[in-house]
Amino acid sequence: MKFSTDYMKLAMLLDSGLLERIETVQSNELLKDDMNKAKRIKAILDPMLESRGEWRAPLIRLMNQVVQFSTGIRGAVFTRLLGYRMNEAAHAQNKIDRLTALGMLSSELDFDCDLKKLQGHINSFILEAEKVAASNSILKDMAGGGE
């Protein structure tokens, strides 16, 4: 099964065990596979956050325009052409639509917060893992020198 979206690719790399280890990074618990996974996550995460930043601000601006347009011009057109009842129904539908769309935006913003949090943890995790790897290699060299 091949997924092509960044979101699905990222989801396939994350699991609760790894997330827990990343959040509570402890050098003696780092697994070699975690480091590989962390680097793959970082490779998807960094560009993903950048592209999400690009659409977030314009989307909010456009959503504001939609809200103004829907409540203003469209409301007036419905009132004239279709009468009060239809206008009320259209407003109710508009309101639901807007709330749902805003709900989606809000959920995406929550997701952004989590992604940023993950990015912070991943960066510290990789730094820590590299330190551990470096000290292991020093220890190995010392052991090798003594032989």
Partner 1 sequence: MFESDLFRFAELMDSSFINRLSTSDSFTPEDMKKANLLEQHASTLLEVKTEALHSLSRNMADSTVIEEPTANDSDRMNVWTMVGDELKAIRELQYLIKRLNHCLAKGTTGGDE
Where does this chain bind partner 1 (CB under 8 A)? 1, 3-8, 10-16, 19, 23, 51-52, 54-55, 58-59, 61-63, 65-66, 69-70, 74, 94, 96-98, 100-101, 103-104, 107, 110-111, 113-114, 117-118
Instruction: Identify which of residues 107 and 135 has a Cβ nearer to partner 1 in the complex.
Output: 107
For 57, 61, 69, 108, the CA distances from 64, given in Å and listed in that order, are 11, 5, 9, 17
Instruction: Identify which of residues 72 and 136 has a Cβ nearer to partner 1 in the complex.
Output: 72
DSSP 5: S
CB of 93 to partner 1, least distance (A): 9
CB of 139 to partner 1, least distance (A): 32
- The distance in angstroms from the start CA to the end CA of the chain is 49
CB of 14 to partner 1, least distance (A): 4
Distance, in Å, from the CA atom of 141 to the CA atom of 10, rounded to the nearest integer, reads 36
Instruction: Identify which of residues 64 and 135 has a Cβ nearer to partner 1 in the complex.
Output: 64
CB of 146 to partner 1, least distance (A): 40
Buried b (16+ CB within 10 A) or exposed e, 66-81: beeebeeeeeeebeee
Instruction: Identify which of residues 4 and 26 has a Cβ nearer to partner 1 in the complex.
Output: 4
Instruction: Identify which of residues 55 and 83 has a Cβ nearer to partner 1 in the complex.
Output: 55
Total length of the chain: 147
Give, for 79, the enclosing helix (H) or strand (E). helix 75-146
